[in-house]
Structure 1
Amino acid sequence: MKYLLLVSHGDFSKGLRQTLSMFAGDPVKSVIAVGLKKDEAASTLEKRFEDTVSNLPDDSEFVILADVIGGSPLTTVCNVLNNHGKLQGSLVMGGMNFPMALTATMSKDSLSNEDLQKKIISEATDAIKVFDTTQSSDDLSDDDI
């Protein structure tokens, strides 16, 4: 089974997973949220994540989205996955946002990692827009947002 692993500082990954459940429904069952808590040592996160990985099927694969590439949460998670022989072949990306997570959730099982990476980057960058606040609220529709 292929899992989407959301990795962050604090509760960002958990909040993102909760929001995904509003949009994606059942596919969120394959989404795991891991966050380094405030004042928590990376070794504590390592132990928590070790327990999570130990309870997953041996053939598990991962798409990993992190808030920051090179941050303690991501490096800790990658070390644990590497120790279990599960990092090789994983797709790891940083700059996590909602469009990336939704695209990964809905497409991870149907696309190769290479195609998924392209789609995630495309969706994430296309979603970055400036909201025009100069229009009157009467003139706005859902299509404008």
Structure 2
Amino acid sequence: MIHIILVSHGDFAKGLKTSLAMFVGDKIDQIIAVGLKNGESADQFAEDLQLPLAEINNDDSLIVLADIIGGSPLTTLCSALSKMGKLDEATILGGVNLPMALNAVLLKDNLKGEDFIKTVLGEAQSSLREFKVTANDEDDDI
């Protein structure tokens, strides 16, 4: 199985998993979401990771989606994955947003390696743009 691990500061990862359930409910059991609580130490967070990471089997693959590259949640998770011998096999991407996470879940079984990374990051970046609403003259009469 290919697991998606969402990791963040606060409850962002858990909220993202809740939103993903609206789109990919049948794959929600393949998503692990953990967040570093405000005021929690890295050591405490490492302990919090033990139970969710216990779901991972030796033959499972991992895709990690983090809120911030280099942040404590991600570096602590990477240490835990290293101790499990799973770090070298993990694909790790930062700056996660909903389109990025959704595409990762939908494409994880069909694309591998650089094709997966390029597609998922491309979709995430293309979703970032200004949404402009323009007034329609016809709507003004309603």
Query: Considering only CA atoms, is the larger Rg found in Structure 1 or Structure 2?
Result: 2
Alignment deviations for residues 14-33 of structure 1 (CA, whole Å, 9 cap, x no partner) = 00000000011211210110
What TM-score, normalized to structure 1?
Answer: 0.90
4+ long deviations beyond 4 Å: 136-139
Q: Is 1:115 aligned to 2:115, yes or no?
A: yes
1:5 matched to which residue of 2?
5
- CA distance in 2: counterparts of 1:125 and 1:9, whole angstroms: 21
1:21 matched to which residue of 2?
21
Letter in 2 for 1:15: G
Q: Pick closer, same or farther for the CA change 1:53–1:133 going to 2, 3 Å.
A: same
Alignment deviations for residues 34-86 of structure 1 (CA, whole Å, 9 cap, x no partner) = 10001111111101112222332221211011000000000000000011000
- CA distance in 1: counterparts of 2:36 and 2:72, whole angstroms: 8
What TM-score, normalized to structure 2?
Answer: 0.91
Q: Pick closer, same or farther for the CA change 1:12–1:137 going to 2, 3 Å.
A: farther
- CA distance in 2: counterparts of 1:138 and 1:77, whole angstroms: 54
Letter in 2 for 1:114: E
**How much does 1:113 deviate?**
2.4
Q: Pick closer, same or farther for the CA change 1:136–1:43 going to 2, 3 Å.
A: farther
Query: What pairs up with 1:15-54 in 2 under 5 angstroms?
Result: 15-54=15-54
1:142 matched to which residue of 2?
none
Letter in 2 for 1:52: P
Measured on the aligned residues, the alpha-carbon RMSD in Å equals 1.6
Query: What pairs up with 1:90-129 in 2 under 5 angstroms?
Result: 90-129=90-129
- CA distance in 2: counterparts of 1:102 and 1:108, whole angstroms: 10
**How many aligned residue pairs are there?**
139
- Gaps of at least 5 residues in structure 1 are 140-145
**How much does 1:111 deviate?**
1.1
Which stretch shifts more, 9-18 or 24-33? 24-33
- CA distance in 1: counterparts of 2:66 and 2:81, whole angstroms: 14
Structure 2 counterpart SS, 1:21 = helix
- Gaps of at least 5 residues in structure 2 are none
